[in-house]
Structure 1
C-alpha cells in the first residue's frame, strides 16, 4: 500500500508533549483523538468506496477472464491491476477500522501483541499490491508507447500477445512479492508510553502500535529502503509521463495519415480509445496517490506539525481507496467494448453470442 510513515513516525514522538507546559492534557488528547471529519470519512466514505471498489474490480476480472474478445494485451494488464486493487481494498482499511473501533487514538493500529502476524501479513500484502500497481501501470505504458509510436515493429515482434503479457505480469508479481518480503521481518508491534496520566478522561497512557520498525536500527533501514522505493516510484512516474507525452504527439500526427486511409482511420480510432482508457487510469493513479506519498515524504524527511498531518491522514487514505475503486468506472465510461461486455455478462443481453473461456 502506502508506506504509512505518518503512523510509524508519530508513534515515537509522544515525548514532544511529555509535559503540559505548552499544551494541557485535554489539548494533547484532542490532538490525537478522532475528529468529526475522521469519523465521517471512516464510518461513511471508506465503506462505500471499498465496497463499490471490490465489487467493480471483481466484475472487471470476471468480464476479462470469461469473455474471449476482451482478452487483449491491455486488458490482461487491467485484469492484473484489478486483482491488485481488490486485494488492496480488502486489506488496507482493516487496521484503520480496527483502530477506530478498539481505541480513541487516531491510527494507532493497536490490534494486540498476540496478533503480530496479522500486522505483518496486512502490511506485507497491502504494500505489495501498491507496488504491483505501479509496476503494472509502467509496463502497460511501455506497451502502449511501442504500439502507438512503433506500430509496425510492435506487430512484427508480436509484442502485444497475451502470452507475453502474462509472462510480464508474472515477473512483476514475483519481484514485488520478493522485494516487499522485508516487511515480514521489520514490521512489529511496538509498545510505547503516552505522556498524560493513566486513564486521564478514560484514555490509557500506554499501548502498542503496528509499525514499520521496532527500534532505531530497523527504522534507519526502513527509511533507507523507503527512500529507494520512493525514488523508484517517482522515476517510473516521470518515465510514464514522458511516454504519454510522446504518444500524444504521435496520435496528433497520425490524424493526417488516418484521413487518407479507411484502414488507418479505423486503426487510429481504436488506438485512441485504448490510449484514452489507459491514460485516464494512469492519471487517476497519479492524482490519487500523490498526496499520500507527499505526506509520507514530508513526515520522514522534515519536521512537521503532527496535528496538521494527523488531520489529513484519513482524507488522503480515502484518495488511495478511490484510486483502487474508480478504474471499472473509467473502463465503462470511455470504452464501448468494455461497456458492452459488462452488459452482456451481467445483464444477460446477447449472452449466447458472448464467446467465453476460463483462461486469462
Structure 2
C-alpha cells in the first residue's frame, strides 16, 4: 500500500498534473475538527470495545454450552461473526487514517489494495448481517405461525445450507460492487507555508469509483434491499405477535393443566414478544438514518438539488455512521437482557458449571420452547 504513494511522491514536482494547491482557509477545512477527533479516538473505540466484548462473549457461550445450538442460534452465531468483522474493519480503518494523516478523508495509507479489501469486506459483512436478521425473523415466523411446516422442512442441515448460501451471496455482492471503490487516486499537494501545515503529507489519496455514477449504484444497491427487508420483517413481526396473542387466549382452564400452565404461557409470550420488538426496532432504527441519507444522496445526485451544505453533510454522516456502528455492538446485549435462557447459558459458560438436571415441572416450558426459537 505504501509503494503506490511512494511512487506518486517521487514524481511530484511543481508542474505535476495531479497537483493540488490549497490556501490557508481551505486547508483548515480539510483538517480534522475537534468533533472528528472525539468520534474517531473516543466514541468509535468505545463502541468497538463494547461490540467485541459482547460478540466474543456470545461466541464463547455458544462454544461452551452445547444445548444452545438451536436453529436460531446458528444464525445468531454467524451474525456475531459478521458484526465483529464489520466493527473491527470499520473502526480500525478510521483510526489508521487519522493516525497516518491530519487531512480528513485522506486514504493514502490504504493504497489500491486497501481500497479493494476494506470496502469489499465491509459490504460482505453488512450483507450477511441484513440477510441473517431477516432469516431469523422468517424462522421465527414459521416456528410460531406454521409449526407443522416448520417441523417438516426445518432442521440443522437446512439451516447450515442457508447460512452457506448467505455467505456466498454476500461475497458475490461485495465483489460485484468492487468497481465502486477500486480506483485509488493519489494527488501531490502544496500546503500553505505555515507551522500549522508543516506536517501535512506531500501526497493524499482517495478510493474512487471507476465511473462517477457507480457511487449512486452502490448506495442504491445497499438501500433498496434494506427497505425491502424492513418491510418484510415488520409484517412478519406483526403476524408473530398476533399469533402469540391468539395462542395465549386459547388456554385450557382444565384442572389437569392448572394455573401454572397458564402463567407459563403468559410468561413465554411476553419474553418472545419483547425480544422480537426490541431486536427488530433497534436493528432497523439504528440503521435507517444511514440508509435514508444514502438514498437521499442518490436522489440529489440525479436531480442536482442539494439541500444541505457540505459541512452539514459531514456532520450528518458522522452521526449516522455512529448509529450504524452501534447496531452490531449491542445485539448480544439484547439477547442477554430480554431472554433468561441466554442469561443462564452465559452463567454456565463463564462459571464452567454443568447444567442442572431439570425438574419434571419444567417440562411445560420445554414443550413450549420447541416452537419458540
Instruction: Output the TM-score relative to the length of structure 2.
Output: 0.77
Indicate whether 1:33 and 2:37 are aligned: no
> 8 Å contact 1:61–1:79 — kept in the other structure?
yes
Structure 2 partner of 1:12: none
Query: Matches of 1:88 and 1:285 in 2, distance apart?
Result: 15
Query: Matches of 2:333 and 2:188 in 1, distance apart?
Result: 45
Partner-residue secondary structure (3-state), 1:92:
helix
Q: How does 1:225-236 map to 2 (within 5 A)?
A: 225-236=218-229
Give aligned pairs, total: 323
Structure 1 partner of 2:217: 224
- The CA deviation at 1:29 is 3.4
Spell out, residue by residue over 1:108-164, the C-alpha distance to the aligned partner (whole angstroms, 9 max, x if none).
333153xx2122111111111001101001111111112222223323x142x2222
- The CA deviation at 1:247 is 1.7
Seen in structure 2, the aligned counterparts of structure 1 residues 284 and 71 have a Cα distance that, compared at 3 Å, is: same
Structure 2's unaligned 5+ residue stretches are 1-19, 301-305, 358-373
> 8 Å contact 1:258–1:268 — kept in the other structure?
no
- The CA deviation at 1:224 is 2.6
Seen in structure 2, the aligned counterparts of structure 1 residues 48 and 343 have a Cα distance that, compared at 3 Å, is: same
> 8 Å contact 1:254–1:268 — kept in the other structure?
no
Indicate whether 1:175 and 2:178 are aligned: no
> 8 Å contact 1:121–1:184 — kept in the other structure?
no
Query: Matches of 1:189 and 1:245 in 2, distance apart?
Result: 46
Query: Matches of 2:253 and 2:86 in 1, distance apart?
Result: 47
> 8 Å contact 1:32–1:307 — kept in the other structure?
no
Of the three residues 118, 126, 129, the one matched with 2:125 is 129
Indicate whether 1:49 and 2:47 are aligned: yes
Of the three residues 141, 146, 152, the one matched with 2:148 is 152
Higher mean displacement: 326-335 or 146-155:
146-155
Partner-residue secondary structure (3-state), 1:190:
strand
- Structure having greater relative contact order (Cα 8 Å, sep ≥ 6): 1
Query: Matches of 1:285 and 1:223 in 2, distance apart?
Result: 24
Partner-residue secondary structure (3-state), 1:258:
coil
- The CA deviation at 1:103 is 1.7
- The CA deviation at 1:255 is 2.3
Structure 2 partner of 1:13: none
Query: Matches of 2:67 and 2:253 in 1, distance apart?
Result: 29
> 8 Å contact 1:119–1:210 — kept in the other structure?
yes
Partner-residue secondary structure (3-state), 2:275:
helix
Instruction: Output the TM-score relative to the length of structure 1.
Output: 0.80
> 8 Å contact 1:53–1:325 — kept in the other structure?
yes
Q: How does 1:349-360 map to 2 (within 5 A)?
A: 350-351=353-354
Query: Matches of 1:86 and 1:112 in 2, distance apart?
Result: 21
